[in-house]
Amino acid sequence: MRKYLILLAVFAVFGIVSSLLERNGATAAFASGLDDHGGKIVSNYDGFGHETVVTLKKMKVTCVAKRIDSKSQCVSILASLHCPGIQLDYVRHVTLQVVFETEDWDQRHALDQRDLSVVADGETFRLGRMQLVGQSTDTRMTETLEISLPYKTFQKVALAEIVELQVGKSRFELRDKNLNALRDLNNRVKFAKGI
């Protein structure tokens, strides 16, 4: 009997979340999570954190070699909107992750090289020091840095036409498909239109 009650509660939560998503203008593209920008956006309810998290999954920004004889470095981003409870009307905060992948293990970001600055349409945001949340070494060295930022700042970045990020000495500009994916993520919340 207890198993049936737990199963019924899980289905009720999923039903409430899906009805909220439909009420907030979710489309078939939201259900699949794919759009013309190539990114994947998913929405989950975190019962332990009592929040709905809408996430743009890891999306490649750039993959270049600094010189012909050097090894390549790839940069990807991941962004999550954290909405308290089962709703998409209010975003408490945003987490932004920057993932660096390289064959050169000496390109790690030391503690004093993790400050994130963002320039969005000429406006500079000094967002502070990113935290190391993951690091792995195989044939490539992968480093994942994360920072939490206010939703208003994320909204300004997502709605900008030109966005450049700098983490320590690493600088890169978001491509059109990255900006379109961030705008799509921003549009998943009800009051995303106004700043």
Q: What is the pLDDT of residues 111-128, one digit of tens each?
A: 788 899 999 999 999 999
> What does the alpha-carbon distance between residue 168 and residue 178 come to, in Å, rounded to a whole number?
21
Joined together, the tokens standing for residue 27 give 């489309």
* Predicted pLDDT at 17: 55
* Predicted pLDDT at 34: 46
pLDDT greater than 90 at residue 107: no
Phi-psi bin for 147: left (phi > 0), alpha (psi -120 to 50), beta? Answer: beta
pLDDT greater than 90 at residue 80: yes
pLDDT tens, position by position, 52-75: 999 999 999 988 655 544 557 889
pLDDT tens, position by position, 149-190: 999 999 999 999 999 999 988 889 999 999 999 999 999 888
Q: What percent of the chain has pLDDT over 90?
A: 48
The pTM of the whole model exceeds 0.85: no
CA-based nearest residue to 14, from 6, 2, 100: 6
> What does the alpha-carbon distance between residue 46 and residue 48 come to, in Å, rounded to a whole number?
6
* Predicted pLDDT at 31: 41
